[in-house]
Structure 1
Amino acid sequence: MADVTTELMFEVLKAVQVRLAQVDGKIDELKQEMQASRTSQNGIRHEITSVFQEISGIHATLVRHEGRLDRIENRLELNDAPTL
């Protein structure tokens, strides 16, 4: 069996350091991608909230118009009920 020398250990450690540097680089890339995804997700969440607010406003307008139409129909004595 080959004797383990300090030079051999040094070469192995250098290879480990190179691999570790590559892993660190990949982790940094993943962190950046995750941050970009979070930013995008927050933008989408904001857009969805805006859409819900707009729909809520439209719904309130429709409810107001329905109430007005009901009052107009009652005032003009218009009914959907069949006459006997």
Structure 2
Amino acid sequence: MAEVTNGLLLAVLKQIHSRHGNVEDRLGGMDGRLHSLSEQLRGLSNEVGAAHTDIANIYVSLGKLDTRLTRKERRLDLTDEPAE
């Protein structure tokens, strides 16, 4: 079996230190990408919320138009329902 010397221990520690630095660099890059994805997801969430609001506003407008049309149809005797 090889004899463990200070030089051998130092070489192993240097390798471990080098690998640890590589791991830290990769984690830093992954952290940046994760933050970017988080920001993109937040933006998409805001856009979906805005789309829901737009759709709700469209439904309100359509409801008002439907009410007006129904009232006009009744006045013109275009439906079987009695006029107001």
Say yes or no: TM over 0.5.
Answer: yes
Is 1:14 equivalent to 2:14 in the alignment? yes
**Aligned structure 1 segments of 4 or more residues deviating by more than 4 angstroms:** none
Q: Which has the higher contact order (CA 8 A, sep 6+)?
A: 2
Please list the CA deviations of residues 7-62 of structure 1 after superposition, one character each: whole Å capped at 9, or x if unmatched.
10000000000000000000000000000000000000000111110111011000
Structure 2 unaligned residues grouped into runs of 5+ = none
Q: Secondary structure at the match of 2:78?
A: coil
Query: 2 CA distance for matches of 1:41 and 1:2?
Result: 55
Identify unmatched segments of 5+ residues in structure 1: none
Deviation at 1:80, TM superposition (A): 6.6
Residue number in structure 2 paired with 1:50: 50
TM-score with structure 2 length normalisation? 0.92
CA RMSD in angstroms comes to: 1.2
> 2:31: which partner in 1?
31
